[in-house]
């Protein structure tokens, strides 16, 4: 008799790391909102920017939390977001100003993708394979 595979540890870890990215965007949204309210930045620009960061935060928090809870479909969203961030990092690459930041963010995204979401156990879990089918 077969039963479904529970979410493996790497999937839960990837969910936590993706949720951290969403939490970082939420922090930036709050900081931007405070700057707009305090007069440190033009209010309408700051409010619009805060709104964009709120959308980004929701886009990362949703698959992060769902992966942590073991929802299979969230893996696709997390993979897409990591690839999107990688493309954005290297599209805006500037070796003079921010090579260390670019390399660190790239390492973070690649760790989530390669070391956690692309593992065989993560792929088998995402496909819904049973214990007797995995391998």
In angstroms, the Cα distances linking 113 to 1, 78, 103, 130 are 32, 9, 15, 23
Closest CA to 128 of 44, 1, 7: 7
Instruction: Tell me the pLDDT band of 5, cut-offs 50, 70 and 90.
Output: confident
**Encoding tokens for residue 72?**
């299979």
Q: Whole-model pTM?
A: 0.89
pLDDT per residue as tens digits for the range 48-61: 999 999 999 999 99
Q: Quote the pLDDT of residue 131.
A: 61
pLDDT per residue as tens digits for the range 69-125: 999 999 999 999 999 999 999 898 887 888 899 999 999 999 999 999 999 999 999
């Amino acid at each position: 008799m077969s039963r479904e595979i529970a979410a493996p540890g790497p999937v839960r870890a990837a969910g936590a790391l993706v949720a951290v990215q969403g939490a970082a965007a939420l922090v930036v949204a709050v900081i931007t909102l405070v700057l707009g309210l305090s007069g440190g930045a033009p209010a309408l620009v700051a409010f619009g920017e805060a709104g964009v960061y709120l959308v980004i935060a929701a886009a990362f928090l949703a698959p992060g939390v769902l992966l942590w809870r073991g929802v299979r479909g969230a893996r696709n969203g997390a993979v897409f977001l990591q690839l999107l961030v990688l493309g954005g990092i290297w599209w805006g690459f500037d070796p003079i100003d921010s090579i260390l930041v670019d390399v660190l963010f790239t390492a973070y995204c690649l760790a989530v993708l390669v070391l956690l979401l692309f593992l065989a156990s993560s792929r088998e879990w995402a496909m819904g394979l049973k214990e007797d089918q995995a391998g």
